Structure formats: C-alpha cells, structure tokens
Amino acid sequence: MKIIESLKIKEKEYIEKLDNGMTVIIIPKPNLDKKYVIWGTHFGSIDNRFIMPKTEEEVFIPDGVAHFLEHKMFEQPDGTNSLDTLMAMGLEANAYTTNDHTAYLFECTNNFYKGLDELMDYVQHPYFTDENVEKEKGIIGQEIKMYDDEPGWKLYMNAMDCMYKDNPIKIDIAGSVESISKITPDVLYKCYNTFYNPSNMIMVVCGDFNPEEILEEIKKRLVKKEEQGEIKRIYPEKEKEINKKYNEVQMEVSTPLFMIGYKDIEGMADKKEIVKKHIAIEILLNMIVGKSSETYKELYEAGDLLSTPDLDYEFSDEYAHILISGQSKNPQKIKEKIEKIIQNYKENGLNEEHFNRIRKKIYGDYVVEYNSVGDIARMFLADKIKGINSFDYIEEYNTVTKEYAERVLKNVFKTENMVMSVVNCKQEK
C-alpha cells in the first residue's frame, strides 16, 4: 500500500488500487472506539448522458436515476431492507446522493465486521423488479414534492438557474415527478452495471484498524468483477456567462432568504491550483462577511442580518461557484454592502493583520475535521472523486499569501458573474 503522511497533523493515509480497479483508502485512528466506513461510486445527478465502456453505446437517462438507484439498493429479494438490518445491529447507517457521487456508509463502535458483511453484500447485489420500482416512484415523488415546498432548497435551485443555462447542476438531485416516471428496472441495471463497477468506486475506512488486516477483510468480501475501463461522460459545453442576474419567489417564510452567487468561470481549469484557490476563497469569504468581519458586525447590529451567513465554494470539473446565503429583511442591502466591501478590497488591498487572523482560523477548521472519523471519511471520499488528496489542504495552507488571495479576489469575485436568489415572504391577498 502507498502511504501518504501529513507531518503537520500527524495523520497517515494508506491507499491501495486493487486489481479490479477499486480504490481503498484507510486512515487509522489508534485507540478510538468509533469506526466509520463509506463506499462511494462516481455517479451523481449530473451524469445523465454517457458512453458505456466495452459496448460504446451512448446512453441518455432520465433525471434523478442516481438518487433513485441509491434508494433501491437497500431492498432485498426476501423482503428485508438492508438499512433496517444495519440499524438493528446498533449501527448508524445511511446513504446519500450528490451532484457527482453516491455513497453508502455506517458508523459504529461494535459489530463492525457484521456491518461490513451487510454493506458489501447489498451494494454488490442489486434487486430491481417492475413492482418495486413502481412502488418507489410514489415514495420519491412525495419526496420531490416536499422539497418543492422547502424554501432553502428553492433558494439554492433558483441560484443555480441564475448562474447556469444548460449545466446539469441545475437538475434537482431527485429529478422530477415526470422524469422518474420513465425509470425502469432496465435503466437501473444499465446504470448499476456501468457506474457500480469497482473501477469507478472508492471505499474509505477510518478507525482503530491495522491497514493490512482491514484491506484483506475488504478483499474477501468483494464479488469478482473485471475492471471495465473508462466511462465517457458527456456534458454540455461550459458556459462563460451567467444565465440571469436575479430570481425571486414568494413562499411561506417569516423572514426573506437570500443567496448571492459568484460563478467561477475558470473553475478547476488547473487541478494543481484548485486546493490553493479553495483555501484563498474560504479566507476571502470570512474576511468579507464572516462572523468576525466588520461587515457582519455592522449588518447584524443594524438588524439587517439575522445570523451568520453560510459561506461555501462548490466545484467539480463541470461547475464552480461561490455562495453566500442567509436571512435578511433587506436582501438588496446585503448585496450592495458585499459589493462595496469587495470593491474596497480590490482597490485598496486586504488588511494584512485581518488576513493572517482569518488564515489561522481556516487552518484550525481543517485540523478540527480530523477529530471525527465520519468527517474524515466523507472528506477523503468527496475529495478523491474530485481528484484531490484531502491532506493537500493542510500542505498548501502556507502557500496562500495575501497577494495570491488578492489575485483570486479580482479573478473570481466579478460583478458581471454575480447573481442573487431571493425567497420573499408571501404577500397577504
């Protein structure tokens, strides 16, 4: 196994690519009771058009298949549900689907190997019938309708609509009631056989393990499959401009919600640079409107911001954007204030003392993530899907200078790439 060590935080990662193409990552945490395993496939909501390896067949699938498949994987031919089975063992089990991957996981202190038996059994043995697929359409249809009425989700989806015209990031992860009506067992098996091949999967294990021993236990439970080769994914051409500047809807909320977005046109153009850029963006966002910023203090004391805004940078090969969201009685004022502070930073540069203070805070946040087996495992999986090693955030930290952050500010925080989504209070008729 290849060993990667971060001397700064005294953590080791053991990584092995198996003969079938599957990647296994082990992060030992000696003397820790909790254990965590997550098994992910590089198949998310944006992967709705692809060319199948070997057959070279081009496939279009309905929106929401990755999420639908995740739901169906637990069902067994004998009528049992593997999620219930895992929970009955005293394990905290779950699964989730994102834009770029699907993951199955559990956390425990006892019964780890029993749980691993169940996890590796259900993920490798799909069971789809006309009857159970039709039944699931009703369940997921209800979930979709529930999210349609969820103000926070509507806020996010409308922000994506502002930034992107044809990019599949705009697609709801669960799809739509209409799109899931077209899902059949044949569609699910085709996607399963393509994307759930070991060569497209990563397993991350974190806890008090001997790396060689746990690797052998994983290998013993693998169903024999050949590496299938690369899946060619087809995405729309990248868009250089935003779709529209503003989107507003009225919903049942007590205070308006806002989401300000900056579309990052460059995105992951340089994979070697992306970690450094991500760190710089996190520092900049905290300086602009983070909890310790003058802007936040001023807006909060004036009653314009009700709490600390959420700050995020989402990126993959196909999209990249910054999001600033929160609650405010006057979203327009928040937008103008943020624009003003960014312009001031561009013209006068960043305050060195403030920059260094926030930089240390961000580093502290990275280090704290290594206290939780769950945070570690999920982080290593998500980063690996993007082609990043999670330790890079610790190693690249010192390379992010004030001057570098100022360049990122000018390149990414551009007024022409700024959008705003608002969910306003429903007006009385």
Instruction: Using the predicted structure, report yes or no on whether residue 268 has a pLDDT greater than 80.
Output: no
Instruction: Using the predicted structure, report yes or no on whether residue 427 has a pLDDT greater than 90.
Output: no
- pLDDT averaged over the chain? 95
Instruction: Using the predicted structure, report yes or no on whether residue 428 has a pLDDT greater than 70.
Output: no
- Give the pLDDT confidence of 315-372 residue by residue, as tens digits: 999 999 999 999 999 999 999 999 999 999 999 999 999 999 999 999 999 999 999 9
Q: Let me know if the fold of 2-233 is the same as that of 246-425.
A: yes
> Average of pLDDT values for 60-77?
96
CA 369, CA 378: separation in Å to the nearest integer? 10
> Average of pLDDT values for 415-420?
97
Instruction: Using the predicted structure, report yes or no on whether residue 429 has a pLDDT greater than 70.
Output: no
> Average of pLDDT values for 227-241?
91
What's the pLDDT score for residue 40?
Answer: 98
What's the pLDDT score for residue 154?
Answer: 96
Can you list the pairs that 388-391 forms with residues at least 24 positions away whose Cβ atoms lie under 8 Å? 388/271, 388/274, 388/275, 389/4, 389/13, 390/13, 391/4, 391/6, 391/11, 391/13
> Average of pLDDT values for 14-21?
96
CA 321, CA 285: separation in Å to the nearest integer? 12
- Give the pLDDT confidence of 106-163 residue by residue, as tens digits: 999 999 999 999 999 999 999 999 999 999 999 999 999 998 899 999 999 999 999 9
164 token code pair = 């992107």
Q: What is the DSSP string of 104-120?
A: EEEEESS-HHHHHHHHH
> Average of pLDDT values for 225-243?
91
Domain residue extents for the chain:
2-233, 246-425
What's the pLDDT score for residue 271?
Answer: 76
What's the pLDDT score for residue 129?
Answer: 95
Instruction: Using the predicted structure, report yes or no on whether residue 226 has a pLDDT greater than 90.
Output: no
Q: Please tell me the pTM assigned to this model.
A: 0.95
Instruction: Using the predicted structure, report yes or no on whether residue 386 has a pLDDT greater than 90.
Output: yes
Task: Quickly state the pLDDT bin for 224 (edges 50, 70, 90).
Answer: very high
- Greatest CA separation for the chain: 68
Q: Which residue has the higher pLDDT, 219 or 269?
A: 219
Instruction: Using the predicted structure, report yes or no on whether residue 417 has a pLDDT greater than 90.
Output: yes
Instruction: Using the predicted structure, report yes or no on whether residue 205 has a pLDDT greater than 70.
Output: yes
What's the pLDDT score for residue 269?
Answer: 72
- Name the CATH topology of 246-425: Cytochrome Bc1 Complex; Chain A, domain 1 (3.30.830)
- Cα 384 → chain centroid: 12
Task: Quickly state the pLDDT bin for 35 (edges 50, 70, 90).
Answer: very high
- Cα 115 → chain centroid: 25
What's the pLDDT score for residue 228?
Answer: 86
CA 283, CA 289: separation in Å to the nearest integer? 10
Q: Does domain 2-233 have CATH number 3.30.70.920?
A: no
Q: Which residues are catalytic?
A: 70
